Structure 1
């Protein structure tokens, strides 16, 4: 009788880690610190999201310049860099989270990632004043704090026409809504894709004007 062969054991992932899904750093683990409002985008959601984005870009990442406005664990920004984005500007105001981003950047040798410590609204204002434009913006702010209503309209000033914003929120972005607040929020944007995972809604918006 042949001895039973043991199946290889996959490396266990700690509860407070996420992994990079694709690209040169595929399967690399990112540690997630405990911080109020820090809610890393789950692996499954990022996989779906980057499949959408990959399709929109025809898998051509090399000219893409990204802005990750609430970088947190860096899961979105480092994912884009892993797939070949030319530049990823990652913004984070929380000091421990920012230090964690610095450690990951050093570990991955992610020279295309520029880390900015500061408030997202102020960064947008500075970027707009400099006339800089992005091809893709990640917008995953803390929930229930009114960030989306404050930041999304401002993103129109710093993104190329027909370029995209990824948005996570605690509510669905509905272009068919008759509510004035929703109409104002989505003014100038076209909803390209949307889905829901648990209590989180995630979307791809394209600047329509």
Structure 2
């Protein structure tokens, strides 16, 4: 049974149990393929189906390279950001409000011998800062049924966070239709269980 989502986000793909009692995250492609990393047994981490994650990165196969700057805004276990690094992204920022969960992401990056920014703050606080450089790829998987997605999308669009032609992955509860910026064009979508994943491309102004 899935644990309901509350204060934190997901990307939690558990493959058995670790010795500490939590789960394990298996990276599915790229240079860290098949690496198993511990994840916390923590309230609010929602499992993202393996099939959905594999589908997403099949969509992104030709979109990620060493020039890609990615943002995992509600990082949870960090699975999507870590997978993006494994696929060759040059930079990934992880944003996670829960201190323990953010610490585990940082520890997993150390295990992989990768140095990347882990921001221990809420998505709202992060988006209140000034972007240093826009992102080419953004993952949005906020806690379900907390009405967070619409505001995040509008702020990403209007406050300089997105590069021209950026890709934005939005995962919501299946019955939610988010209100998104007019410049975002839906290019792919899939469903698994109570999750609906959509991939958008931001169309640059003419």
Higher helix share: 1
Residue by residue, what CA displacement relative to the aligned partner does 1:135-158 show, whole Å, maximum 9, x if unpaired? 000111110111112211112131
Q: Distance in 2 between matches of 1:74 and 1:150?
A: 22
Pair 1:14-2:16 in alignment: yes
- The answer to whether residue 139 in structure 2 is matched with residue 151 in structure 1 is no
Secondary structure of 1:185's partner? coil
- Please give the alpha-carbon distance, in whole angstroms, between the structure 2 residues aligned to 1:162 and 1:49: 17
Q: Partners in 2 of 1:13 and 1:200 — Cα distance?
A: 19
Q: Within 5 Å, which residues of 2 pair with 1:122-133?
A: 122-126=125-129, 129-133=130-134
Partner of 2:75: 71
Q: Distance in 1 between matches of 2:110 and 2:132?
A: 29
Computed over aligned residues only, the root mean square deviation of the Cα atoms, in angstroms, reads 1.9
**Does 2:54 correspond to 1:54?**
no
Quote the Cα distance in structure 2 between the aligned partners of 1:173 and 1:152: 14
Pairing partner for 1:160 from 158, 163, 175: 163
Which has the bigger relative contact order, CA under 8 A and spacing at least 6?
Answer: 2
2:97 is the alignment partner of 1:103: no
**Number of positions where the alignment pairs a residue of Structure 1 with one of Structure 2:** 184
Aligned residue for 2:48? 41
Does the residue aligned with 1:78 lie in a helix, a strand or coil? helix
Q: Alignment partner of 2:52: what SS? A: helix
d(CA) in 1 for partners of 2:66 and 2:101? 27
Q: Does 1:207 align with 2:202?
A: yes
Question: Which whole-Å CA distance do the structure 1 matches of 2:166 and 2:56 have between them?
Answer: 15
1:83 aligns with 2:84: no
Unaligned runs of 5+ in 1: 1-11, 175-181
TM-score for the superposition, normalised by structure 2:
0.82
